[in-house]
A = this chain, B = another copy of it.
Amino acid sequence: MTEKTYSISELSEEFNITPRTLRFYEDQKLIAPSRNGQTRIYSKKDRARLAWILRGKRVGFTISDMGKLLDLYYLEGGKVKQRELGLQNCQARIETLERQKKDIDETLKELRKIIEMFKNWKPYPDQDNAKI
């Protein structure tokens, strides 16, 4: 049974990125698709890595951050040190993400306040201006 594979344009269309981006990620050692001659062939595993990278990006990590994290994750060697490093890394990331969630919630609150202000706007100011 031969696993499903993807061409560079298939994958880039699916994830709405350009081929250039995929080549760039390869350049940065984030993905290492196999080759048929010189043509890249992406496996399911490659696809999964890509999904991770892009999600990481969306929530504010750099691609080199993601590279390191993926490396730790896919590490074959189970040297205790490496595993601990991986754990610490993940935990640090979790903290960052949780702070970000709080930030987002606060920002959302304020945005909603602003929307109310826009909606309730009146041609003449009432006592409720000069708030910020």
In the complex formed, the residue of B with least CB distance to A122 is: B78
Q: By the criterion CB–CB under 8 Å, are A83 and B118 in contact? A: yes
Residues of A within 8 A of B (CB): 45, 48-49, 52, 55-56, 58-60, 73, 78, 83, 86-87, 90-91, 93-94, 97-101, 103-108, 110-112, 114-115, 117-119, 121-123, 132
Identical copies of this chain, number: 2
Beyond A87-B115, A97-B104, A101-B101, 18 additional pairs, beta carbon < 8 A:
A45-B132, A48-B132, A56-B107, A58-B60, A58-B99, A59-B104, A73-B117, A73-B132, A78-B121, A83-B118, A83-B121, A90-B115, A90-B118, A97-B108, A98-B108, A100-B104, A101-B104, A104-B104
The docked-state distance in angstroms from the alpha carbon of A117 to that of B49 is 17
Q: How far is the CB of A20 from chain B (nearest CB, A)?
A: 21
| Contact partners of A45 in chain B: CB under 8 A | 132
